[in-house]
Amino acid sequence: MSQGVPIGQLIATAVISGGVISAVIGLLFKGFITKVETEVKSKRTWKEESVSKLLAPLNMQFDRTKRAFKRWNSLNLFIEAKVVGVGNETIRDLLLSKGHLIPPELLEDAGKLIEHYDVWLEKFQEQRSSETPDLKATFLFVGPDGFPFPGEAEGRFRDKYKEYWKELYEP
Domains held by the chain: number? 1
Position 14 in a domain: no
Between 65 and 4, the more confident residue is 65
Q: What is the pLDDT of residues 70-102, one digit of tens each?
A: 887 666 666 777 788 899 999 999 999 999 999
What pLDDT does residue 36 have?
Answer: 55
Each residue's pLDDT tens digit, 130-158: 666 666 666 777 777 888 999 999 999 99
In a domain, 10, yes or no: no
Residue 135 lies in a domain: yes
Q: Is residue 152 part of a domain?
A: yes
R_g over Cα of the chain: 30
Domain that holds residue 145: 45-169
65 to 21, 36, 43, 59: CA distances (angstroms): 64, 41, 31, 10
* Residue 23 counted as domain residue: no
Judge whether 81 lies within some domain: yes
- Position 32 in a domain: no
Q: Is the residue at 54 inside a domain?
A: yes
